[in-house]
Chains A and B, each alone.
Chain A
Amino acid sequence: MSVIKAFSPQSPTFRLRLGKWLDSAVAETVLLPALGIATFLLLWSVVASQINTSLGAFPGPVQVSQQATALISEHRAEREKEAAFYQRQEDRNAKRLEKEPDFIPKIRAYTGKATYLDQIVTSILTVLTGFVLASLIAIPAGIVIGLSRKVHSAVNPLVQLFKPISPLAWLPLVTMVVSAVYVTDDPMFEKSFINSVVTVMLCSLWPTLINTSVGVANIEPDLQNVSRVLRLGRWTHIRRVVLPSSLPMIFTGLRLSLGVAWMVLIAAEMLAQNPGLGKFVWDEFQNGSSQSLARIMVAVITIGLIGFALDRIMLYLLGRVAWDPETATR
């Protein structure tokens, strides 16, 4: 009897043990997150089976994981086809070379369709390109704005105006401008790539710009005085005082910007038809097969995981550059 009592939820020993158990480090880092995820999966499969769409029941975790495996095996199959394609060409060329020694062999590039993994790579490349370009503009501009109250007053209304603009509003304009300006016979980049990059850039500029300018404007007055008393030149002042002291703020801005960039990218790819995850979602949606919803769910989860990974990388970098260990843990 007493055994049953000890394990009944009302008994104080049970509560004590549960409490202790929940406080342990293992529970915090492994068990509780696992519990959260398990609950989510359970709820998902229950709710999913209740929702009937025109494409059949909403996919549950099982269907989604099946599609994830399917997408990976499609990728493998495509790569094998590609290898076989090149192999065939080489064989053919070798044969022909035997017959006509002065034949110059040509290799035609394989133009199979992009696999799911290819699309992930494209998305990551696009977002990083847009993000790097945005940072190259936003950090110097933020420093200039932060250093001068006058520049700040002049620029601030514009920043506030441009900051809340959605990528969907930019994209048509960007598309038109890019097709007008970017005309070459031998394009190094696809137009759709450039459209996405520019849109990502326009939207992800602002957090870095604003954080940099705030960081620069709020350098400790004592350090400003040091700089004045030592009469540091403008460049030395920026390099030795301004940059290091606003580095944590700059990186916080970069982290926010990268998050924005990743969100914007998916929308931009959908519309610009840049061959990335966004286009994948859009194509599946248009396709409307019985597997489409499950495939879109795979993409949704992938988008979340990559966004999470990018954020972690930025957090790690922030910890590396911060001279003050306090700021790294925020």
Chain B
Amino acid sequence: MSGLTQLIRKDLRHHRRHFILASIGIVVGIAAFAFFLALGSGVRSVVLGEIFPLDKLEVIPRSTDVDLGPLRVGMGKDTLNDEAAKKLGEIEHVTGVYPKMKLTVPSIAAGGKELFGNAMRTEMVADGIDPKLVAEDIDSKYAFAYFDDREATKACKTDADCGETMLYCGDPLPAHAMTADGATAGEDEPAAEVADAPKGKVCRHYVPVIASNHLVEIYNGTIRRAHSLPKLNPNFVLGLKFDLRVGASMVRASKRKKVITERGRLVGFSDRAISLGLTLPLGYVSRYNVLFDDPNAAKTFHSIIVDVDAKDNVAGVAKGVEDAGFDVADSGAEQAAMLIAVFMMVFGFVSIVIVGIAAINIMHVFFMLIYERQREIGIMRAVGASRANIRTIILGEAAVVGALAGVVGVGLSMLAAYGFDLVSAKYIPDFPYKPDTYFEFSPLLLATSVGFAIGFCVLGAVLPARRAAKLDPAVVLTGQ
């Protein structure tokens, strides 16, 4: 075997020009293949890893609308309650069940002067979630939990008197925030504040709030530039304090209720927080909803997040959810995954076609070389090479050419990817989820690319190798 290896080496060196020419197509094809697949899987891991994490499902009540073509008849909804949560928890492969509730009370968040230069006010969209769901995303300095401040009595003059990071010195909760039926007077915001005139400050808990990484991404990628505001670094924003006016609205006056003013504090970022809005511990949202809206609100959830043990089991769990009588909210992940898969398939296919055509080119070159080397092959046969030896030599040469072409192709694609990332970092303005690299060259991809290159080269050389093995040494050596 080592003898044949030596021969292959010598032949490759001798015919290197031919082989280099022959392998250009393979190099290009493999470069394209590796490039597009790396791009696809890089984008995929951003999209499915960060934008639409796939290891959880959001369960929503089944909409029992009967679809009669243009006529949609609403038939009401099943509610999500503790019983539903329990049922969902029993589905196989579900590792956690976390109820989620929307804040149905119009509210305003205001503050951020230290960040933006001006105090900002914004209508607040908020969700309440089970704090356990995000426990690992909360900085140890802070706490994300429901604090019942109805009993807060410790008197204070400044925040320092209260000591803890989650405490501030503020007004006690107003009377109307104490009970569910609260105030019924239809006062406006200012009136409410007057009504709740301070009786002396006490140590209060900040309402802990988390935001999603999406929010930061979207802010940094778009909003910031439109309004020429500073770029936010999540670590820098952490701990931000602001006012939370529950029951207040910028667009319409709160219906009948009085406003409750609280201090909020940003205590973490999580992929499980809602994308556009703030996420609070479930207890707060439940209390506000009950106070302002509906006494039954405490028992019904808007959705339930279901954790799945592995991505591969998501589909099975989704089916279990539907069997249990609920629906799975469409996160867009499926479409995104499908889109990326199609992208990868199309470009992968195009690249393989290039490689395939290149293999035909390889075949031509090998046929030509074998014609040129007939005498050489005849000599080898005369001194003892068997047909199998000749075949091995030709296929071995093809394999080496393929391996080299594959390595060069992969190298080129990595170089191109590097260049692309460089250009992106330098010239493409930030956009949400703009990654440092768009590419993911997994060892599997590298091995597959080189494997394809070898495979196609060898495939291209099969017929030429057969012809070479069949050459009649008597004929080629005596030149008849």
Query: Do A and B come from the same complex?
Result: no
| Chain B contact residues, CB within 8 Å of chain A | none
Which residues of A approach B to under 8 Å, CB–CB? none
